[in-house]
Copies of this chain bind each other. A is one copy, B any other.
Amino acid sequence: MKVIVDFCVIPLGVELSLSPYIAECQRILEAAGLKHELHAYGTNIEGEWEVVMDAVKRCHYRIHEMGAPRISSTLKLGTRTDRDESIESKVQSVQQQLVS
C-alpha cells in the first residue's frame, strides 16, 4: 500500500536550532530512496508504507543517538484505494483549480 506522509520531528532537551536533526532525517530519507520534499513545517514523503515507516523509525533512533533524550513527532498518513496519487499531483490538482 502506497502512502503519502507529512513528517515533522521535534527533538527535546537539545539546543534551540533543530536544523541539524532535520537535515539528518533528510539524509535517511534520501538513503532509503524515498521521494521527499522539505517544507517549512515538515517533510512530505511518498512511498510504500513499510519503507516509509521504517525510515521514520530510523529517524527517531538516529536523533536519540545524536543526543536528544526525548522526541515528539507528528505524522499525517494519506492512503487511497480509488486511484494513484503523488506529491506532485496533489499540489497540481489545487493549482489547476486556482488557474481555471
Chain A, interface size category, equals: 35 or more
Which residue of B18, B44, B60, B61 contacts A77 across the interface (Cβ within 8 Å)?
Answer: B60
- Chain B residue nearest to A49 (CB atoms) is B57
Q: Knowing that A60-B77, A69-B80, A75-B75 are A-B contacts, what are 10 other residue pairs whose CB atoms are under 8 Å apart, sorted by A's residue number?
A: A4-B40, A6-B42, A10-B72, A12-B12, A20-B97, A22-B97, A37-B40, A60-B79, A70-B78, A70-B82
Q: List 14 A-B contacts (CB under 8 A).
A: A4-B40, A6-B40, A16-B70, A17-B93, A22-B94, A22-B97, A23-B98, A39-B44, A40-B87, A53-B57, A69-B81, A70-B82, A71-B78, A73-B77
